[in-house]
Structure 1
Amino acid sequence: MGGEDRGRLPVPAGAAGLHVRPGELTIVVEPDARRELLDRIERRLPEGAVREVAMFGAIAVMFEEAMLVAAQKDLGLLVRVAVDDDAALVARPEAARAEMGAGRSMGEGWIRVDGDAVRDDGMLEFWLEQALRRRDGR
């Protein structure tokens, strides 16, 4: 055990876990978890051109060249919604106004959805439908 950092719990490569140091707790998200979320998103989209683009510190899913959602590192979702639907959607318990840095609102039409909520397939489909509604002008 000599020379080993005893203030940190080892986590095998590619595994989810916790890193703990005195006074600090960091959740380590499995790299494959975000890939799984992106795959779940893309499987639910209609036929069309889909691509992924790194932006906003996340991986955005572009559909027919329009950004729909972005999978964040913590598995939350940044969702583009119609401005007319924004007030009702941001009031939902799993939603919050998206921010570009602490306290800097991205404005109407940008909503952050909690990662725990989008684990549920029905909830993920709901938010994808909102993004598609905006894109299609519905």
Structure 2
Amino acid sequence: MAYDELLADRIRGILTDQKGLREQKMFGGLAFLVRGKMVACVGTGDRALLVRVDGAREPEFLQFDGALHAVMGRGRSMGAGWITVDAAALENEAALQFWVSAALEHNANTAGK
């Protein structure tokens, strides 16, 4: 199953001004990297987006509609700050902008680490 091309285009539009933006196939989808670190990955199916956010703020982020802690396979946690977001929760631009901005904030705070 291919990743959501429309969602990928929407993310490209948000990230267009980011220096060092790179795309790479990863996790069965298309990842967007800034400064060599993943910001977001467009997946397949209902779990449409994977983002890397500040792990200390994960409980806050998990309160948003469609957000779940990311796991690899059966119950293998990806660690604090890895969140998947349902496709239905990303239908409006404000919601997608929120998640990409949260991931960019974390990316900027970990630059050089």
Secondary structure class of the residue paired with 2:87: coil
Aligned equivalents of 2:37, 2:53: Cα separation in 1 = 12
Over the aligned positions, Cα root-mean-square deviation in angstroms equals 1.9
2:28 to 52, 57, 70: 57
Give the structure 2 partner of residue 105 of structure 1. 77
What is the TM-score when the length of structure 2 is the normalising length? 0.85
Task: Considering fraction of residues, name the structure with more helix.
Answer: 2
Q: Which of 66, 76, 79 pairs up with 1:94?
A: 66
1:75-105 per-position Cα deviation (integer Å, ceiling 9, x unaligned): 6100100112111102222100101012222
Higher relative contact order (CA 8 A, sep 6+): 2
After TM superposition, the runs of 4+ consecutive aligned structure 1 residues lying more than 4 A away are: none
Aligned residue for 2:5, secondary structure, equals helix
TM-score, normalization: structure 1?
0.71
1:69 to 40, 44, 48: 40
Q: Which of the two has higher C-alpha Rg?
A: 1
Aligned length: 108
Unaligned runs of 5+ in 2: none
**Percent same amino acid at aligned positions?**
34
Residue in structure 1 matched with residue 54 of structure 2 by the alignment: 82
